[in-house]
Structure 1
Amino acid sequence: MRPVIDMRGIHRIFESEAGFSHVLHDITFSVGAGEFVAITGPSGSGKSTLMNILGCLDTPTSGTYRLSRLNVADLTDSELAEVRATHIGFVFQSFNLMPRMTVLENVMLPLAYTGTPRSSRERRAVGALQAAGLAIEHYDHRAGVLSGGQMQRVAIARALVNDPDIILADEPTGNLDTHTGALVLNTFHRLKEAGKTIVLITHDTNVAAAADRTVRIVDGRIARPDGDASAERRLDPARVPEISRSPILGGAR
């Protein structure tokens, strides 16, 4: 199985007035095409920082990230924006829908930025909503009147509308009850069967169990099967100031 996500020795260090915060330590793992992988761990373990790097919303302080064999560090800002728009679909816990827009308008929205004709936008949005499993009678409803499970399916459809290779889902069942969360997970399974690669971040071990395999993060490190955090190649603390002055260094998190 060829990897579409390949991370090697990823470190992420943030600088603030309080000093340096080493959030990710030597993260190394890969995800094959068509795999469904859950990244799990307690709050504050670095999952969201890792998701931002996976989604090309942030850049590691050191290490190599290859996305579909592209070295992300070599891409320009415009190329990164194109990767995010065409190769990655994002699904968030808070849905991030426009409440006064209809379901169909919400799903069509990403296509408006690509110059896609309206007729094609509508056709593709309907196809994405069908793939996400939302009933057709909801398409002309305003997003703000939907249930949590329905809103999450709209969010999944919006992530699918550009036909991305990879779906990144950050706590997609966090605001849902158990039954509705299970329905959303079934949607991800159908997408996997259709050939999509799915990376789902969750703190819920029951949700993680629905994936093909689980990568557990503890204190910014990938945990070994026995539960201990691996730290085989930690950075020398003396190098932290040098790394943290990198032009790609972001703010505190």
Structure 2
Amino acid sequence: MKNLAIILLVVLGFTSCKDDKEEMPAEIQVNFEFSHFINGEELELDGKAYTLPSGESFIPSKFKYYISNITFENSQTGNSYTVADGYYLIDEAGKKEISLEVPTANYDKLSYYVGIDKARNLSTDQVGDLDPNNDMVWSWKTGYKFLVLEGEWEYQTADRRGLVVHIGNNDPESEINFKEFSFDLSSEGLSLGNQAMVDLDIEAEISSLFTGDSDLVVHELESTSIMGGPLAITVANNYQKNLFSIK
């Protein structure tokens, strides 16, 4: 009887291990949720006034951008997974979530880009989030707007003026303003492994458009319609530093 009991325990042990392996999900559901802030205050459109870094009162009316080329990586092995054909429009007035099915593995790095890569940027005959009806293509030339911020501002006066920031690129030989953002998940106390589902909360700080490599004083700008040119490059370089943080 004693030997039989030992045999049963061994068999049950093997069965349990087998069941654990069989129950391991083939994919991890990764849910991104984006939230937006100005100077740490949660963003509200069309009504609430915020203070920009250079002191202007600003009432935002629009904030949206493209997330693309999402990649999960294991820094120890070098193995990675990039979401194929992944172009996602994040809109304060609309969708702010992305849900993905990622092959099960241990990932400690996450990266993505703001904008559209050369492969898709100059072809606006697209569907889904790349549909031109989403108001993210240039009206006078081919290509997508990577990031859009619009609203009204004032500074020591009752007169309000428009602020329009459209960042993009239509040069087929360049990916200027197509900015990468990388995160060390382990340093944030996060990791992707054998879980069935992981939630990633990502915060975007809009004031980072105006501070960083080159601080911009909005009320001193010759024009507050930034749609290409050196100022757009400055804004993109700025927000690459501190636009996103992950929770």
- Fold shared by both chains (TM-score > 0.5): no
What TM-score, normalized by structure 2, do the two folds share?
A: 0.24
What TM-score, normalized by structure 1, do the two folds share?
A: 0.23
User: Larger relative contact order (C-alpha < 8 A, sep ≥ 6)?
Assistant: 1
Greater strand share, structure number = 2
Greater helix share, structure number = 1
- Rg bigger for which structure? 2
